[in-house]
Amino acid sequence: MGSLRHFISLVDWTPEEIEALILDAARMKAEWKAGVRPTPLAGKTLGMIFQKPSLRTRVSFEMAMRHLGGDALYLSPQEVGLGQRESVADVARVLSRYVDAIMARVFAHSVLEEMARYATVPVINGLSDDEHPCQALGDVLTVYEKKGRLRGLKLAFVGDGNNVATALLYVCAMLGMDFAIATPPGYMLKEAVIEQGRAFAARSGSRLLFTHDPAEAVRDADILYTDVWASMGQEAEAEARRRVFPPYQVNAALVAKARPDVLVMHCLPAHRGEEITDEVADGPHSVIFDQAENRLHAQKALLVRLLAG
């Protein structure tokens, strides 16, 4: 029991551990592409609980387990009724008797924290309203592949101060990448998140910028990142957000304000014509689909770390 680790938040891991995951992911991806197919998780099963639907999270985790010789079990919202039909604590305790790890994609971050308190197997955050750490792993792997380094690069996020932006602030500040974010007034990251990011940056030397001006944020950016203006669970706010966010669209004019070799990133699904234009999403700077692929390889590294040591 002493070695049980969860992956609920990047905050719970050290910068050295996160960097090691990225290097492991790069190595495992290269091995897979070369036809080397080790199966360190043979006989292991991942239970996957979904409160929110997903293309990339489900398929990338399921295929990760298959690549590693294990298996994955999909549990839909209707099957589990997490916190409604059955308590989170009981679901965690029951699943711990059946599977070797639990991945949960939920609304409230507190659900994951409660699950981790009662589970006797590793619990992985597949997404919560607070943070999307697995996405950040895949994103940083993509940057490392494309740029050959992380430290000293600048990532600019333009849009809503949401769970993806939170994870990106954490991972950049942990690994020595500069981070800038531009949001409309009222949509900035939570103050507690900003303070945590500043604490990481104080140790790594990262420079942080929090602004409402997209042009200021993207100046000298090596990576330009955006996400949907209204996330799952915010449908009631979608129309109001569409009136506020158009100045934060990632389009050719904004890309031109960044470095000439800037990478454009989006975690998908994209609302094309809203937060990003087709011209940019399908243009020469875009690495959107490399990001999507790298969810698979980053999560393979995480699964091996949690289940095989």
- For the annotated catalytic residues, the residue numbers are 105, 132, 135, 227, 267, 295
φ, ψ of residue 92 in degrees (nearest 5) = -60, -45
- Cα dist. 173→32, 201, 230, 299 in Å? 30, 5, 25, 21
Q: Are 182 and 211 in contact (CB under 8 A)?
A: yes
Tokens 């997903």 -> residue: 54
How far apart CA 206 and CA 153 sit, in angstroms, is: 9
CB 300 within 8 A of CB 25: yes
Whether the CA torsion 255, 57, 201, 149 is positive or negative: it is negative
Residue 15: count other Cβ atoms within 10 Å of its Cβ. Answer: 17
| Residue 178, beta-bridge partner list | 154
Contact between 294 and 29 (Cβ < 8 Å): yes
Handedness of CA 102, 107, 108, 109 (dihedral sign): positive
CB 218 within 8 A of CB 158: yes
